[in-house]
């Protein structure tokens, strides 16, 4: 493991580094991935570098690389964004960029590590996210770790000639601690 920050069973999360830049650009410019994140325009190298370096300038954004321990393979990124220490909330984001690794439970494992860090280390009260209604895969992954569908911004996202709903999902620290399965995993 290189520079591990949070360590799970099959994966670990580490800070993003300059050498991750090309990989991250390839992922973010993949149209299938782009459509799940709501971006319209391609990401340039300059913008991607700014995004990468901006993460550690303040304690408002924590972006981490998701790496499979076996073979040390960087497969995606995840993190907490817009961390608000007064209201004790933050937004969760994740992308498994290497599609061959979709469906193997890596996103739920990474999400659990981030939730534990957010609740048990940063003392957050609420972690939320937005997911478009067409992204069933992501909704399923989020439900597995205890995110609850809290509300719907109807037809807020336009893609491929159609409007889709923007779903708000969230989890509270109390729910995280009450959830038997999750507590066992902690
Ligand atoms: C969404 C994402 C994070 C999920 O990661 P993952 O590691 O593949 O998650 P999982 O391994 O839990 O697999 C997803 C689950 O959704 C299920 N699924 C896939 N397509 C589905 C569909 N159309 N309808 C319902 N369930 C579906 C899979 O079967 C799997 O469930 P299972 O383990 O019970 O079989 C990953 O696919 C990804 O990064 N996608 C691109 C970027 C993205 O969408 N980010 C999230 C933006 S909100």
Cross-strand partners of 130: 168
Residue 166 lies in a domain: yes
Please give the pLDDT value at position 39.
85
| Protein residue whose Cα sits closest to atom 36 of ligand 1 | 96
Please give the pLDDT value at position 76.
98
Please give the pLDDT value at position 77.
98
Give alpha helix (H) positions in the chain. 21-28, 31-37, 45-54, 106-116, 136-144, 173-178, 180-185
Q: Which of 103, 110, 131 to mutate to test the pocket of ligand 1 (most atoms within 8 A of CB)?
A: 103
CATH of residue 144: 3.40.630.30
Count the neighbouring beta carbons within 10 Å of the beta carbon of residue 25.
Answer: 20
Please indicate whether residue 134, judged by its CB atom, sits closer than 6 Å to ligand 1. no
What residues in the chain have per-residue pLDDT under 70?
Answer: 180-186
Please give the pLDDT value at position 180.
57
Residue 84 lies in a domain: yes
Please give the pLDDT value at position 123.
98
Number of domains in the chain: 1
| Protein residue whose Cα sits closest to atom 21 of ligand 1 | 137
Please give the pLDDT value at position 70.
97
How does pLDDT run across 112-147, given as a tens digit for each residue? 999 999 999 999 999 999 999 999 999 999 999 999
- What's the rounded Cα separation, in Å, for the pair 156 and 113? 30
Please indicate whether residue 96, judged by its CB atom, sits closer than 6 Å to ligand 1. yes
Residue 109 lies in a domain: yes
Which token pair is 117?
């860090």
Please indicate whether residue 179, judged by its CB atom, sits closer than 6 Å to ligand 1. no
> What's the 36 CA to ligand 1 centre distance in angstroms?
11
- What's the rounded Cα separation, in Å, for the pair 101 and 107? 9
Q: Which of 29, 31, 105, 141 to mutate to test the pocket of ligand 1 (most atoms within 8 A of CB)?
A: 141
Residue 41 lies in a domain: yes
Please give the pLDDT value at position 185.
59
Residue 170 lies in a domain: yes
Residue 85 lies in a domain: yes
Residue 1 lies in a domain: no
- HSE at residue 90, side-chain half, CA atoms within 13 A, is 24
Count the neighbouring beta carbons within 10 Å of the beta carbon of residue 161.
Answer: 5
Residue 89 lies in a domain: yes
Q: Which domain holds residue 54?
A: 6-185
Whole-model pTM?
0.95
């Amino acid at each position: 493991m290189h520079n591990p920050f949070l360590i799970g069973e099959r994966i670990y999360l580490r800070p993003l580094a300059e050498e991750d830049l090309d990989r991250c650009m390839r992922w973010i410019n993949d149209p299938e991935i782009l459509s799940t994140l709501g971006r319209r325009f391609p990401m340039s190298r300059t913008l991607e570098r700014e995004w990468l370096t901006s993460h550690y300038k303040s304690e408002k954004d924590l972006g981490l690389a998701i790496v499979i321990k076996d073979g040390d393979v960087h497969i995606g990124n995840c993190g907490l964004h817009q961390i608000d220490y007064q209201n004790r909330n933050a937004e969760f984001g994740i992308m498994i960029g290497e599609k061959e690794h979709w469906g193997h439970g890596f996103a739920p494992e990474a999400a659990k590590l981030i939730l534990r860090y957010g609740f048990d280390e940063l003392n957050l009260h609420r972690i939320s996210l937005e997911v478009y209604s067409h992204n069933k895969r992501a909704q399923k992954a989020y439900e597995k770790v205890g995110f609850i569908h809290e509300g719907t911004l109807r037809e807020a996202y336009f893609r491929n000639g159609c409007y889709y709903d923007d779903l708000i999902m969230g989890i509270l620290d109390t729910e995280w601690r009450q959830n038997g399965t999750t507590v066992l995993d902690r």
